[in-house]
Chains A and B, each alone.
Chain A
Amino acid sequence: MKKRKIGMALSLVLAAGTLLGACGKSDNKDTDTSKGGDKEKAFSVAMVTDVGGVDDKSFNQSAWEGLQKFGADNGLKKGQGGFDYLQSTSDADYTTNLNSLARKGFDLVYGIGFLMHDAVDGIAKQQPKTNFAIIDDEVKQPNVASVLFKEQEAAFLAGVAAALTTKTNHIGFIGGMEIPVIERFEAGFLAGVQAAKPEVKVDVKYSGAFDKAELGQTIASTMYASGADVVFHAAGATGNGLFKEAGDLKKKDSAREIWAIGVDRDQNDMGPDVVLTSAIKRVDVAVVDIANKAKDGKFPGGETAIYGLQEDGVGLAPINAKAANKDAIDKAVKEWVEKIKSGNVKVPGTRDELKTFSAK
């Protein structure tokens, strides 16, 4: 009986310890923020990643690189009052993260990815004094700037490059989740292949996730095994499995001609021997652009900015020098860029538009 009481007392002391410790911390924090508020008037900016994380080698990383560049250009420091990021591990974290950053007094907070639509919408109402920006979706709020890309145009060029490279006339496409953004990639890519070489067959597979590299590798392995020799991914960190698989195959048999095409940023660093090119989506450009506008007091709240080839918001990375017909590809890509920029060719952005698409 006595011992039980001691146990109770001990656990009470422990519990009290945690609670009191917590109080002390919160006091510190309060004084911190109030000081920060008075002293700092510099423009500060932060972003929330989706579940891919800040080092996903594509989408989120590109945004973070943009933010880092903006920070360096303006002499900001990483952290509160400068530039910073928070990562989300599940959908439930988006709201919490966005709100935390707004509360920390960041002037502009980015939600990276369409998955954050509802979270940005909700928090923008709650925090009318903070400016928000969402990438890849539209949120109609006076303090939210929306950023969309014409991914189909970059994917179209990737499709042209893939079609001109394949020897087996068999190409693969690995998508992340079946959402409008990835559908734009798919439609554009298929249109590009069709425009350059109509007889090429394209396998389209969706992994259902942006953060499952092992799944990406499995799909890539099946595609290569079934005869595809060029595979394009639009699947964020899932696509890292594609590069792993392509690299492994190349290591086993260096004579085998297989290629992978990256997405979002120039993913040449993922496998200099196997990455043919990348469909670049300059999330970093858009991030810096919006941040600069906001800093100058011209934040495009309530507006939707669309970045395409014309705006240098999307494009194709340099073709790998090891590709046999690099010159021919470069030439073809250049021609298509002109046609798209001049408006002669409208690249389809949905599967329905793809059905009626014909390249002349």
Chain B
Amino acid sequence: MSKRLVNILTPIFAVILGIIFGTIIMLVSGYNPIEAFIALGQGAFGDVYQIGEVVRQVTPYILAGLAVAFAFRVGLFNIGVEGQFIVGWLAAVWVGVTFDLPAIIHLPLAILAAMIAGGLWAFVPGLLKARFRVHEVIVTIMMNYIALHTVNYIVNTKMNQGSSKTAKIHETASLRSEWLSDFTTGSSIHWGIIIAIICCFIMWFLLEKTTRGYELRAVGFNQDAAHYAGMNVNKNIILSMVISGCFAGIAGAMEGLGTFGYMAVQGGFTGVGFNGIAVALLGGNTALGVFFAALLFGILKIGALSMPLAGVPKELVDIIIALIVFFVASSYIIRIVLERFSKKEVK
């Protein structure tokens, strides 16, 4: 069985296994799994409105997933996507609120600001890793807390417009559109999905089709070999973290310019960055894989909101998601099983 096929089949089996085990848990705890899944399906695809909400939820997941996946391809664990996401969100809203520009400049400027903010936030751990070999996992986790509380402070003191949130961004910086909203009978869908898809393409192109991407991947495969081949490992480490942070920053811009149109004080982490890790893992760290994995997570998350209407606690969906991640992480088992099968075929 080809390696590529195994790579595609592993996440699919993980999802199926996750759903099977989720079903068992529901049966054991006395819930009706069929009703639960119907409620989930209705919650995600019941009508065009729900589909709009799914697309809205998928948008930041794609970008956060890309951010994690990009760093991972270069051999780095960017656990700091959450923090980069939050600073990106603030930067985008700040530009959206402060400036008065025509839409054609304002919107790109707001997104660019989010990219820069996210990129800078990721530059610090990248630099520390490259110069002093400080482990990026620890630095990025800590940077998450710094981001959360600094941003809360800024929103609360500098940009507060009453009830702990910023003013609404100007219409010219908004990703929302009447047309899209009407088309989905009033959902909070916005144009961000187009940006997310473009970013998928950028990630694929950058890694697979450019010399720089080849270098980045080489560093990911084997730093020593890359170094021996004359590549500047440190530069590539920093670069990959910054690009990863840019993706995360854009994800934040999606919330700031699309979903909300403002930034409120966050009681805790939004979870988008952490879901991004799961999305990247499930998507095998490829652009296309991330896209589909984000789609699945978006469907599960939005669908789960309607599950209490069927009398099933929506925490069960969190369990199913956790199980899927578990099975992807332990894909080793699935791989072995698949290989057994393919060997038998050969005989």
Contact = CB atoms under 8 A, between A and B. Distances in A.
A90 B308 contact: no
Interface string B39-73: 00111111101100100110000000000000000
A117 B255 CA distance: 17
Given A100-B50, A180-B163, A210-B267, 7 more contacts: A25-B46, A78-B311, A79-B311, A84-B309, A91-B270, A92-B56, A103-B47
A21 interface: yes
B8 interface: yes
Contact of A86 (B12, B41, B308): B308
A125 B164 CA distance: 23
B30 interface: no
B260 A92 contact: yes
Given A11-B8, A91-B264, A100-B306, A25 B270 contact: no
A50 to B, nearest CB: 9
Contacts of A180: 163
Nearest to B38: A25
Give the contact-size bracket for chain A: 35 or more
Interface string B162-174: 0111000000000
B88 to A, nearest CB: 16
Nearest to A52: B267
Interface in B281-301: none
B177 to A, nearest CB: 15
A325 interface: no
A62 interface: no
B115 to A, nearest CB: 21
A118 B163 CA distance: 11
Given A4-B5, A14-B12, A92-B255, A86 B46 contact: no
B317 to A, nearest CB: 10
A29 interface: yes
A197 interface: no
Interface in B201-257: 255
B12 A11 contact: yes
A44 B46 CA distance: 21
Contacts, number: 114
14 contacts: A7-B2, A25-B38, A26-B41, A79-B311, A80-B309, A86-B309, A96-B53, A96-B188, A100-B43, A100-B305, A103-B47, A103-B49, A177-B265, A178-B156
A25 B53 contact: no
Interface residues of B, number: 46
B4 A7 contact: yes
| A7, A92, A127, A211, most chain B CB atoms within 10 A | A92
Contact of B164 (A10, A21, A179): A179
A99 interface: yes
Contact of B42 (A25, A79, A92, A118): A25
A84 B308 contact: yes
Nearest to A28: B38
Given A86-B305, A100-B305, A178-B164, A92 B267 contact: no
Contacts of A300: none
A300 B306 CA distance: 28
A177 B164 contact: yes
A302 interface: no
B4 A4 contact: yes
Given A86-B305, A100-B305, A117-B163, A26 B45 contact: yes
Contact of A96 (B255, B302, B308): B302
A97 interface: yes
B308 A51 contact: no
A359 B346 CA distance: 90
| B9, B267, B268, most chain A CB atoms within 10 A | B267
A228 B165 CA distance: 33
A135 interface: no
A99 B267 CA distance: 23
B102 interface: no
A99 B49 CA distance: 9
Nearest to B45: A22
Contacts of B12: 11, 14
B310 to A, nearest CB: 8
A295 interface: no
Interface string B303-338: 001101101001000000000000000000000000
A44 to B, nearest CB: 12
Contact of B308 (A85, A114, A127): A85
A154 to B, nearest CB: 21
Given A25-B41, A28-B38, A211 B267 contact: yes
A225 B72 CA distance: 44
A143 B148 CA distance: 36
Contacts of B255: 92
Contacts of B305: 86-88, 93, 96-97, 100
A7 B38 CA distance: 28
A126 B185 CA distance: 9
A208 B302 contact: no
Contact of A3 (B2, B47, B156, B306): B2
A150 B149 CA distance: 30
A292 interface: no
A169 interface: no
Contacts of B268: 209, 211-212
A95 interface: yes
B57 A92 contact: yes
A115 B265 CA distance: 10
A230 B7 CA distance: 59
A103 B309 CA distance: 13
A137 interface: yes
A129 interface: no
Contacts of B186: 99, 126-127
A140 interface: no
Nearest to A125: B186
Nearest to B304: A89
Interface in A152-190: 176-180
Contacts of B152: 208
B53 to A, nearest CB: 5
B27 interface: no
Nearest to B270: A90
A89 B1 CA distance: 42
A116 B188 CA distance: 15
